[in-house]
């Protein structure tokens, strides 16, 4: 097979050098058929790619579109040729490759999204599998049709950033809101935000499509009544289970720093929120906003007021951070700020917050606290 292929490729190279446009196109389809029907190493595929790439430079638009359709579905497709087709300005050429080819890597897809047209983005949004990095670009740069398509694509993977971007865009797009609400992997606190912004019609549709979420939808509507749309609204079975477990520890005197750090390292957000609420004597919604909205200054204050070590505080910061990541430089700055915080001042700030909430100001927006350092 390899010797026959080498002989055929030699003939093809001669056809490129001496042939007419018609003979070159015939040579292109002969090479493409050989490639698709055979079994080759990556080195052999590369050789095919050099020949096909040279032939493809001189063919008409319709022939390039035909080539793209043929190569889009084969694992033998030369990567260089696939990338060239994917970045063709014509969606007739680029579309099949962007939607179907498994030979395109994540970097190429991201670059394509950043530089090509909305029809190109739409083709990418229909892929069977879409990694997080690609989804992030689609939801940032895509038009309404693109974001609706990627939201309904079960093979798309979403980061917290991606979900937040989509929730913002769903405020004026009920179809997008419905697609998002049907995604089973959407984090609970983001589902709460989605429901808070959704129309009554979308809520009814989600209840019909996802009866398992009916209780959560109703509880979300109750909890977010008013202006606090980003609140958790923790009236769900998982929340009550966490509350029972953590409250039990607290009643027996076993809720402490060790419990909190174990919950945080296990990414048990609800348990951490309930635990901090009990230890700080603050309403759950205040602790929720502190962690979920990355109010890092308040997180440092609460940790210092409770006498927590830096390792515990760091676990809380990572828990609330987007994708549980904090740049090393930012983490160093937070550690320095935590070290400078005075414990007595932090306890005083905590008492001020406690008194505010007890006075009925629980729904007020959190303000930046002055004079936190000694």
Q: Do 225 and 294 share a domain, yes or no?
A: no
Q: Do 221 and 303 share a domain, yes or no?
A: no
Residue 170 domain-assigned?
Answer: yes
pLDDT tens readout for residues 270-309: 899 999 999 998 888 888 888 877 678 889 989 999 999 9
Residue 203 domain-assigned?
Answer: yes
* pLDDT given for residue 370 in this prediction: 42
Q: Do 220 and 296 share a domain, yes or no?
A: no
Gap between the Cα atoms of 84 and 101, Å rounded = 13
For 113, the token pair is 């999204």
* Number of domains making up the chain: 3
Who wins on pLDDT, 10 or 52?
52
Domain of residue 71 covers 1-104
pLDDT tens readout for residues 216-231: 665 554 444 333 333 3
Lowest mean pLDDT among 16-25, 146-155, 336-345: 16-25
Residue 133 domain-assigned?
Answer: no
- C-alpha separations of 116 from 47, 54, 87, 89 in Å: 28, 23, 7, 7
Given a cut of 80, whether residue 209 has pLDDT beyond it is no
Given a cut of 60, whether residue 160 has pLDDT beyond it is yes
* pLDDT given for residue 326 in this prediction: 83
Q: Do 322 and 269 share a domain, yes or no?
A: yes
For 363, the token pair is 């729904």
The last residue of a domain, from among 104, 125, 145: 104
Q: Do 300 and 271 share a domain, yes or no?
A: yes
Beta bridge partners of 341: 373
- E strands, 117-275, are none
Q: Do 253 and 180 share a domain, yes or no?
A: no
Q: Do 189 and 254 share a domain, yes or no?
A: no
How high is the mean pLDDT of the chain?
81
Contacts of 38 by beta carbon, 8 Å cutoff, 6+ apart: 1, 5, 76
Residue 110 domain-assigned?
Answer: no
Residue 134 domain-assigned?
Answer: no
The last residue of a domain, from among 208, 235, 262: 235
Gap between the Cα atoms of 169 and 161, Å rounded = 13
226 burial via Cβ count (<10 Å: 0-12, 13-18, 19+): exposed
Q: Do 275 and 328 share a domain, yes or no?
A: yes
Residue 154 domain-assigned?
Answer: no
127 burial via Cβ count (<10 Å: 0-12, 13-18, 19+): buried
Q: Do 84 and 4 share a domain, yes or no?
A: yes
Q: Do 262 and 230 share a domain, yes or no?
A: no
Q: Do 204 and 269 share a domain, yes or no?
A: no
Residue 118 domain-assigned?
Answer: no
Q: Do 99 and 9 share a domain, yes or no?
A: yes
Looking at residues 28-48, what average pLDDT do you find?
A: 78
**Cβ–Cβ contacts within 10 Å for residue 348, how many?**
15
Residue 214 domain-assigned?
Answer: yes
């Amino acid at each position: 097979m390899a010797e026959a292929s080498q002989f055929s490729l030699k003939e093809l190279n001669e056809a490129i050098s001496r042939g007419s446009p018609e003979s070159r196109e015939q040579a292109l389809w002969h090479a493409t058929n050989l490639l698709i029907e055979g079994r080759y190493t990556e080195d052999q595929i590369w050789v095919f790619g050099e020949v096909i790439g040279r032939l493809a430079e001189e063919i008409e638009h319709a022939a390039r579109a035909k080539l793209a359709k043929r190569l889009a579905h084969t694992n033998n497709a030369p990567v260089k040729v696939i990338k060239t087709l994917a970045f063709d300005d014509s969606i007739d050429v680029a579309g099949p490759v962007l939607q179907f080819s498994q030979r395109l890597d994540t970097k190429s897809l991201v670059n394509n999204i950043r530089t090509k047209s909305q029809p190109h983005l739409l083709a990418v949004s229909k892929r069977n599998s879409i990694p997080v990095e690609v989804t992030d670009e689609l939801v940032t740069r895509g038009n309404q049709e693109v974001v609706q398509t990627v939201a309904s694509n079960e093979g798309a993977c979403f980061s917290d950033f991606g979900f937040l971007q989509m929730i913002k865009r769903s405020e004026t797009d009920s179809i997008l809101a419905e697609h998002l609400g049907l995604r089973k992997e959407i984090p609970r606190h983001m589902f709460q935000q989605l429901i808070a912004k959704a129309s009554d019609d979308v809520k009814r549709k989600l209840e019909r499509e996802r009866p398992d979420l009916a209780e959560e939808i109703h509880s979300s509507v109750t909890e977010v009544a008013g202006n606090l749309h980003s609140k958790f609204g923790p009236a769900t079975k998982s929340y009550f289970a966490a509350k029972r477990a953590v409250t039990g520890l607290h009643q027996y005197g076993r809720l402490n720093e060790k419990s909190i750090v174990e919950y945080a390292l296990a990414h048990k957000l609800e348990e951490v929120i309930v635990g901090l609420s009990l230890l700080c004597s603050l309403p759950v919604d205040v602790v929720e906003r502190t962690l979920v909205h990355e109010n890092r200054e308040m997180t440092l204050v609460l940790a210092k007021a409770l006498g927590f070590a830096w390792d515990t505080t760091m676990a809380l910061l990572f828990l609330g951070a987007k994708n549980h990541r904090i740049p090393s430089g930012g983490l160093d700055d937070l550690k320095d700020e935590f070290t400078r915080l005075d414990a007595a001042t932090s306890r005083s700030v905590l008492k001020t917050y406690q008194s505010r909430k007890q006075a009925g100001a629980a729904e007020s927006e959190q303000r930046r606290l002055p004079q936190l350092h000694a």
